[in-house]
Structure 1
Amino acid sequence: MLNGTNFKAWKEAVEIILGCMDLDLALRAEKSTPNPENLDEDKVEKWERSNRMCLMIMKRSVPEVFRGSISESHNA
């Protein structure tokens, strides 16, 4: 749990958890956008799911008192 003085340890713990759950794609790769040459929508869906899960897990590991001072993000 993030407490204001342990960001480095918190970040490492969150990265390990997301990696073990195979949810860290959004942290490792940029979002790919399908184009006429690359219509792989499956990759986009996997990235979007990973991003949503990362954001939810990170939000859950930040105490409510800190949430108001952290800006909302749409990307992990």
Structure 2
Amino acid sequence: MLNGTNFKEWKEAVEIVMGCMDLDLALRAEEPIPTMDNLQEVKIEKWERSNRMCLMIMKRSIPEAFRGSIFE
């Protein structure tokens, strides 16, 4: 749990969990830019799912008072 003094350790733990669950794409790659030609592309769907899952895991591992500062 993030407590204000352990950011480095918290970040490392979150990255390990997301990497082991193969959910870290949004942390490793830039968001693909949708165009008229690739709106349904698998890359965009995978990145968006990864981003949602990362945000949920991070929200779960920080104090409730800070959860509102994570934008979706």
- Fold match, TM over 0.5? yes
Paired residue secondary structure (2:65): helix
Matches within 5 A, 1:1-76: 1-35=1-35, 39=38, 41-68=41-68, 71-74=69-72
Deviation at 1:64, TM superposition (A): 1.1
Aligned residue identity for 1:7: F
Deviation at 1:33, TM superposition (A): 2.4
TM-score normalised per structure 1: 0.81
More helix by share: 2
Question: What CA distance in whole angstroms lies between the structure 2 residues aligned with 1:31 and 1:66?
Answer: 24
Unpaired stretches in structure 1, ≥5 consecutive residues: none
Deviation at 1:54, TM superposition (A): 0.2
CA RMSD of aligned residues (A): 1.7
Deviation at 1:67, TM superposition (A): 2.8
TM-score normalised per structure 2: 0.85
Aligned residue identity for 1:11: K
**What count of residue pairs does the alignment treat as equivalent?**
71
Aligned residue identity for 1:23: L
- C-alpha change, 1:22 and 1:45, in structure 2 (3 Å) is same
